[in-house]
Structure 1
Amino acid sequence: MSQQHQKWLELVKQKMQEKGWSRSDLAQVAGVSPAMITRLLKEGHGSDEFKLLISKKLNIREPWEEYEEVR
């Protein structure tokens, strides 16, 4: 997992804490199972579409991908 991805996961955890949301709360808002949220937070597992959904639900603008400079 890239450093950028780890940074994004920390933001997800921070936003959940700010809102007072549990993993189950985030799962309910995102329309997924709590197990999917657990896998996301522990392993960074999830599709780009899923991560975008989580970003939108938590109002996170930081990308989870590592962008490389194109020359």
Structure 2
Amino acid sequence: MSQQHQKWISLVEQRLKEKGWSKADLTQVVGLRSPATITDLLKKGKGSADLKLRVSKALDIREPWENFEEN
């Protein structure tokens, strides 16, 4: 997992604390059925780009989860 992705995960965890949300709350907000998906996202970085985008929008995070390098 890249350092940028780890930074994004830290922001997700910070915003959850700020809002007083649990992983189950975030699961509902982003339209998932199982909090295990959010757990996998936060512990392993596992999740689709769509899921990460929905999480970012729900928590008002503008930081990308991947580095974009100019060629």
| TM superposition score category, shorter chain reference | over 0.9
- Cα deviation for residue 44 of structure 1 reads 0.6
Which amino acid in structure 2 is aligned with residue 12 of structure 1? V
- Report whether the alignment pairs 1:46 with 2:47: yes
Which runs of no fewer than 5 residues in structure 1 stay unpaired? none
Which amino acid in structure 2 is aligned with residue 31 of structure 1? G
Counterparts of 1:1-71 in structure 2 under 5 Å?
1-32=1-32, 33-70=34-71
- Cα deviation for residue 22 of structure 1 reads 0.5
- Cα deviation for residue 67 of structure 1 reads 1.4
Which runs of no fewer than 5 residues in structure 2 stay unpaired? none
- Cα deviation for residue 9 of structure 1 reads 0.3
Report the identity percentage.
64
- Cα deviation for residue 46 of structure 1 reads 0.3
